[in-house]
Chains A and B, each alone.
Chain A
Amino acid sequence: MRAEFTSFYEQEAPRLVRSLTLVTGEAVLAEDAVAEAFARAWSRWPQVRACDRPAAWVMRVALNESRSRFRRRSVERRKAHAVARPDAADDPDLSAAHALWDAVRRLDRRERALIALRYVADLPQHEIARVLGIPPGTVASGLNRARQRLGKTLAPTHEEESW
């Protein structure tokens, strides 16, 4: 059972840390929250492993944990500009992704969460709806809205793109 959990952790933890970093704006906070969420997963592993998507369970706990760390409105009111971007600025192959990360970090928290869960955590839309506790239609429209806003922000890079 431990080997199974270890494999699950090694496969999913980096992706979830990256996702939560995008949501919360702080890599250290994200790492703390994800580690705590995985610890809670291990404390009840027989139940968690039976979930349809254990990673979604962990992400939900990590999101809550990140909020509890700074509690109440304080954590919600962090400024979007505080969202850290991964290092490796010298890699030219990643310059577009860096620009995109910078654009995502200027979205509001809800849209950042949608983008992070869909495209970094790679959760399907119905799972995102469950994790965030919002209607599936809201996930779809929110993602579309966020993509549109990112398109505007990054124009003219993507000006030829369309629905």
Chain B
Amino acid sequence: MVIPEEDLFGLADLPAGPPARPVDGVIARGGRLRRRRHAVRALGVTAVVGGVAAAGTLMAGGDGDRADDVQVGATSSTTAAAPALLPNPMSCLVDGDGRTSFVPPTAIARAEVPEAMRLIPTQLPEDAPITVAQGARYDFPPSDCGPVAEMVDTLVLAASGPDGGVSATVRVSGPYSTPSGDLGLSYDVPSQLRGRPATMAVNGVTVFVVFTWGEPDGGYWELRAEGIDEAGARAVAEALQLDSSPDPGQPPAQIPPEALPAGFQVVAQAATVPGPAPEPDVGPTWTVQVGESAAVQTGFMCHLEVREAQGAGFDGAAMGIGDRVVTVGGRDALWGPVMGSSPATHPEGVPMNDLTWEPAPGYVARMDCEYWDGPAPGTLPLEQMVAIAESVATVAPDDPRLPPE
């Protein structure tokens, strides 16, 4: 019982939502992007030739320096003029992992995937075949913006719900030398925050609030809140203690304990201002799928992805709504909703979760396993998922359990 394809093509016949923007504005924006890209390249040449200290710091990202190795803020003046901060990564084309990943990945031979990543689950509740075992490599084009600050949540607050999962978060990012993005959301509205002009975006459906603003010391900040309303987010923002050039040992963003909203706690706090973003990860990835081939449309399915770790592991900053910290192999792991999922995701209305853990130092694995029908549809229980995760083992490229390459 499936929906016919001709019906699905009918989706395209529905009236579009808002009309597309006038092409003149798009072309004008494209022209600005092109000029900015050329300007960034010119800036790079100037910095190398001139050896200007500040510009050299700005370009350090090209050498792969990490944020905690570069005390950007320590070199800046405390006057309001121009702290030596890096451009806001939000003004650039970067996706959730800080990559400009619109170049499709390249499939690579299994033998090219590091052995430590070449994992398969060995203890599954069903004797389902492995239908996909694929290595890939991502290559990333140069950023349109040149070196930008590393994506760092300078301060993260979180509250837990009755089930122990995260029920609300507040993330503070900055300080940056530029505002968050130069386009903004269509429903951005001017606002006031901390006695200064600010931009606010409130999504009432998903209970998502964003504030962006500039501080008198020249640093730009952004606050994103999920699970609390505008008033709650605004109260946190007003109480923040921010410093774009903090003394050594002092974090750039703090909140007095008495200003924490009820139920919230500080789960992550950056020790320094964001430094240059590291080069995009171009490492390999490994994907395994159990069951659910084109010929098997029901029953059990398991999907495992392994990649090289980027930055910190599972600290509080990584937690999102619904996540719980659990233990896999004696190390912290995250258990929470599949990306973009909701309790209505599964046809039976069962919440869909996935497990993220470190199968080996330097690697991160994400796995979801579920039944699409049967007596217990939906994601396997956490205990079973942990057992499967702890059962993963490396395989040879020509292991007979893998499908033909």
Residues of A participating in the B interface, judged by any CB pair closer than 8 Å: 2, 5-6, 9-10, 13-15, 17-18, 21-22, 25-32, 34-36, 38-45, 57, 60-61, 63-65, 67-82, 84-88, 94, 96-98, 100-101, 104, 106-110, 112, 115-116, 118-120, 122, 130-131, 133-135, 137-138, 140-141, 144-145, 147-155, 158-159, 161-163
B352 within 8 A of A: yes
Residues of B participating in the A interface, judged by any CB pair closer than 8 Å: 1-5, 7-21, 23, 25-27, 29-31, 33-34, 37, 90, 92-96, 100-102, 104-105, 107, 131-132, 134, 136, 138, 144, 151, 171, 181, 183, 185-187, 203, 205-206, 208, 210, 224, 226, 287, 289, 292-294, 297-298, 318, 320-322, 337-342, 344-345, 347, 352, 372
- Nearest Cβ distance between residue B386 and chain A, in whole angstroms? 21
Q: Given A10-B23, A73-B339, A108-B345, decide whether A31 and B17 contact each other with a Cβ distance below 8 A.
A: yes
Pairwise interchain contact B104-A86, C-beta atoms closer than 8 A:
no
Give which listed residue, B20, B30, B33, B107, contacts A14 with CB less than 8 A: B20
With a CB–CB cut-off of 8 A, which chain B residues contact A87? 15, 17
With a CB–CB cut-off of 8 A, which chain A residues contact B298? 148
Pairwise interchain contact A17-B2, C-beta atoms closer than 8 A:
no
Give which listed residue, B12, B31, B318, contacts A15 with CB less than 8 A: B12
Pairwise interchain contact B8-A115, C-beta atoms closer than 8 A:
yes
Pairwise interchain contact B151-A9, C-beta atoms closer than 8 A:
no
Pairwise interchain contact A119-B186, C-beta atoms closer than 8 A:
no
Pairwise interchain contact B287-A135, C-beta atoms closer than 8 A:
yes
Pairwise interchain contact A155-B1, C-beta atoms closer than 8 A:
yes
- Nearest Cβ distance between residue A155 and chain B, in whole angstroms? 6
| Contacts across chains A and B counted by CB atoms under 8 Å | 272
With a CB–CB cut-off of 8 A, which chain A residues contact B347? 149, 152-153
- Nearest Cβ distance between residue A62 and chain B, in whole angstroms? 9
Report the Cα distance A119→B293, complex, angstroms: 21
With a CB–CB cut-off of 8 A, which chain B residues contact A101? 11, 14
Report the Cα distance A84→B23, complex, angstroms: 24
Pairwise interchain contact A77-B16, C-beta atoms closer than 8 A:
no
Pairwise interchain contact A71-B90, C-beta atoms closer than 8 A:
yes
Pairwise interchain contact A79-B29, C-beta atoms closer than 8 A:
no
Given contacts A27-B17, A70-B208, 9 further A-B contacts (CB under 8 A): A13-B21, A32-B186, A60-B104, A65-B93, A74-B171, A88-B15, A101-B11, A133-B104, A135-B132
Pairwise interchain contact A110-B105, C-beta atoms closer than 8 A:
no
Report the Cα distance A135→B107, complex, angstroms: 9
Report the Cα distance A141→B321, complex, angstroms: 29
- Nearest Cβ distance between residue A16 and chain B, in whole angstroms? 8
- Nearest Cβ distance between residue B48 and chain A, in whole angstroms? 24
Q: Given A17-B20, A80-B345, A108-B338, decide whether A31 and B1 contact each other with a Cβ distance below 8 A.
A: no
Pairwise interchain contact B12-A154, C-beta atoms closer than 8 A:
no
- Nearest Cβ distance between residue A48 and chain B, in whole angstroms? 10
Pairwise interchain contact A74-B226, C-beta atoms closer than 8 A:
yes
